[in-house]
Amino acid sequence: MSTTRGWSVILEVRGLKKAFGGLLAVNNFDLAVRANEILGLIGPNGSGKTTVLNLITGELGADAGEILLKGTQLSGLRPFQICRKRVSRTFQLARVMPGMTVTENVMVGRLFGSQPRSIHECRREVEALLAFVGLSGKGNQLAGQLTYIDQKRVELARALATQPVLLLLDEWLAGLTPSELTAGMELVERTRKLGIAVVLVEHVMRAVRALSDRVVVMNAGSKIVEGTPDEVLSHPEVIQAYLGDDDA
């Protein structure tokens, strides 16, 4: 495992490229995620952030470059294989199985993620995860009947049930009320305290600034700036990317 300034690096992305026809969605992109950090990945809509997540998790195949988790190549593996290497994610829109109970939704992650176990062995772990995300007492409810924020909690619990060392959150905080946002931010921070590295793709700058140890900014498929939240969010290239030349 490599190190950067004393931090162990668990994920390395090198020279990543992905094109869709004539559109170069990700262009020679490099990324290093350190153990137990929250890395903010931001950029305007269409800048390639979700495509990077899809490449890391194997939902898309890269045209070039490599992706390594603790030095092990992930490129070419299928999504379930990458999940079992202990990489998990959420999606921009919460993806729950509406006709299954909350417990059953989370149980899927525990049964088919890394170190799968029997139903009887993992039920207690699932109950603990529901308590962790704030869903105690809701295990028997159908996931499709939950509020939006609670469906997001189910998706997070299911991702955590796979026992990841790296969690990719794709706009998990989007669409929340101010009070829900505060609770969601606290939950992301508590997730990091479990020893999980988090990549936070987000447009809510309040959350990016408060949660991120480092921030990487993408524009038009490329990384343009990397640094602390204060450094990055005041950088002229970032302001230009979000606002355009005239407003910048």
Q: For the chain, which domains are there?
A: 1-86+165-248 (3.40.50.300), 94-163 (no CATH)
Encode pLDDT of 9-23 as tens digits.
999 999 999 999 989
Alpha helices in the chain (DSSP H): 49-56, 79-84, 102-112, 119-133, 148-161, 178-192, 205-211, 229-233, 236-243
Tokens of 14: 């090198």
pLDDT for res 141: 96
Q: Which amino acid is at 53?
A: L
Chain CA centroid to CA 82, Å: 14
Handedness of CA 3, 52, 167, 164 (dihedral sign): negative
Beta-bridge partners for 89: 168
- 171 φψ region: left (φ > 0), alpha (ψ -120 to 50), beta (else): left
Encode pLDDT of 146-158 as tens digits.
999 999 999 999 9
pLDDT for res 243: 63
pTM value is: 0.91
- Which residue stretches of the chain have pLDDT < 70? 1-7, 116-117, 243-248
pLDDT for res 124: 84
Q: Is 32 helix (H, G, I), strand (E, B) or coil?
A: strand
Other Cβ atoms within 10 Å of 78 Cβ, number = 11
Q: Is 170 helix (H, G, I), strand (E, B) or coil?
A: strand
Q: Give every CB contact of residue 129 below 8 A, 6+ residues apart in sequence.
A: 106, 157, 160, 161
